[in-house]
Structure 1
């Protein structure tokens, strides 16, 4: 595949199955499309194994609320092309469930640091809770998202002191969640779960 043009892909002409039959999806690498009953593409993703990806997909709950969703797929034999093809297709189709949030980094001035240190609240990252709910491992998350293991570990174990905006955007996009679902504010003396 030398040149890829997303406008030549018609998801409606690709093989597809109803969302309820996702366990029958093929064991192949490729791009998948969640298409609603009005033939609108609601979500686009990629995986090294489409069937395994959809056994416990993070968008399943959102998609079950949409009428008659079917999953179409485009097999991609060269796994190194998955990310660029997915990116081009998302830009072309602009599916609503792929629209991520934009996180603007917030920098604390040195004069405000004392106030932060004296705060009676703390931030807890719920990444491990999200992984547990989806029955995903940290290594599977790293493989699916491209995030590093140390970054994932720091968030899961709540040892990270700073949060990278790009990392948070990737996680929110992957889990289909808002920032408030990824983090919670707790009293500083609250027990760790």
Structure 2
């Protein structure tokens, strides 16, 4: 499968442990660094990876959560995996209610914690979850992240990171942050 000539699905070298579905951000495609590093870690840990590629400008007036759920459900309709893990970035974290209903393991990169439907769905999910965000992100709520950590979620909070998990104007620090995120994802997958 391809999207614009880019592959959208990868198989691990050995037997698959399950399916990891990657839901991108509004303007952050699956090929962007955080999601691509997650793809590499997922493959390393034996997951089949299926990316969702979307054009969020086609959403129109549709409720964002319903729009994301529709894409997730469509991507999973033909899948027959015993273990499904969701990876969402920003807009893709609106799949949290879908994950909670099914108790799916998840990795939420810059989740929209200021949106009650997202933070409440994460809190309601019985699956193992990793949340990654930065204090420089207006859509990250440190108090909610702390609460979720107390209730079992793994949390990586980076003091100087924005919504892209970057420090504007500092390429080296941004690369260091991305390395921190990659390490957190790898460590989380070791426990899933």
- Scaled by the length of structure 2, what TM-score is found? 0.32
Q: Report the TM-score, using the length of structure 1 for normalisation.
A: 0.32
When Rg is computed on C-alpha atoms for both structures, the one with the higher figure is 1
Q: Whose RCO is larger (CA < 8 A, sep 6+)? A: 1
